Chains A and B, each alone.
Chain A
Amino acid sequence: MINAQIDTDGQGPVVLSRDRCVALLATVPVGRIIYTERALPAVQLVNFVVAGDTIVIRTAWGSKLAAAARKAIVAFEADSYDAETRTGWSVTAVGHARVVEEPDEIAFLDTLPLQPWAPGRRQYYIRIAIEMLTGRQITSTQHGDNGNDPIERPQ
């Protein structure tokens, strides 16, 4: 049983640099979309890629995620935790989501290495603008400090 603790300093989230966050996102194939469904938070696991300042996902026509993502603000989270070294990270992006409808844009997105593990028919792309990006280092330490990874205060 791992005993990880997410450390914050009580001042607010401890922020990793934007470049580091983007680099970390590139290392995992799935993340989670957090959206609101009838005023309740909901979470769905998705395959994704980062393209420019957006996160690109695919979803099935008519899915709850599709409905929620039409011009709504969603959050996207990805993380990785190593039980042996007891370290890991979590990155969260928040921003407006939109369904991609332009054929040229779809053609471009088709070239990206986004391969849903469960593809289906009638899928379309959703792009989430990265308007806020925060990252946390996860360590399990006795004294609650965050180890020696570069940490920047929010600007």
Chain B
Amino acid sequence: MTQSNARSDARVDTLDEDACRRLISPGGIGRIAYKGRYGLAVIPVNYALDGDTVVFRTTAGSALDEDLRTGIADADYLVAFEIDHIDEARHEGWSVLIQGTAHHLESEAERAAVAHLDVRPWPGGSKDLYFRITPTRTTGRVIHQTTPAG
């Protein structure tokens, strides 16, 4: 199948921070990317936006949890967090990338601060751990098709 000329009318635009924040504010699934024990790792997690920060949770004892807890007080892990939305039929989509530090929410006060977010632990489930990502850099891109795909 050859590429049609129509598809070459696609545009890729960058998104500013405000636009990025608006797109990711409903929460949902995002992907945390980091350099772990086995090299680059990327794992989908459920997240919520808390102001400018991203909060997600992991299961205690999971590989993700162990990788992100550096064991050094006040030393946070450098991570990327990616959220996207794709319209397969229209060949369009957007993607937001946050690069920042991931901090394990250890104290009761820290955990209480995220209790209102919809990243609830399982009732009766194993202990869950919460992480907060503080962005140092937020970028985004959007792909539009200016003529219909297909």
Contacts and interface: CB of A to CB of B under 8 A. Distances in A.
Contacts of A138: 44
Nearest to B28: A2
A3 B118 contact: yes
Contacts of A45: 82, 84, 86, 93, 95, 141
B23 to A, nearest CB: 13
B68 interface: no
A80 B46 CA distance: 13
Contacts of B26: 1
B87 to A, nearest CB: 10
Contacts of B122: 5, 142, 144
B97 interface: yes
Given A30-B86, A75-B40, A36 B35 contact: yes
Contacts of A142: 122-125
Contact of A43 (B29, B57, B80, B92): B80
Nearest to B11: A118
Contact of A118 (B1, B46, B60, B143): B143
Given A7-B59, A13-B63, A2 B29 contact: yes
B62 interface: yes
A116 to B, nearest CB: 8
Contacts of A119: 3, 7-8, 10
Interface string B39-68: 111111110100000000111111110000
A26 B3 CA distance: 20
Contacts of B84: 32, 45
Interface of A: 1-8, 10, 12-13, 28-30, 32, 34-36, 39-45, 73-75, 77, 79, 81, 88, 90, 92, 94, 113, 115, 117-120, 132, 136, 138, 142-144
17 contacts: A1-B48, A4-B29, A4-B46, A5-B57, A5-B59, A6-B45, A8-B62, A30-B86, A36-B35, A41-B40, A41-B78, A43-B31, A43-B97, A45-B95, A117-B143, A117-B149, A119-B7
Given A5-B57, A10-B62, A144-B122, 4 more contacts: A12-B63, A32-B42, A41-B78, A90-B43
Return the 6 tightest CB-CB contacts between A and B, nearest first.
Answer: A10-B61, A43-B82, A75-B40, A41-B80, A8-B62, A117-B91
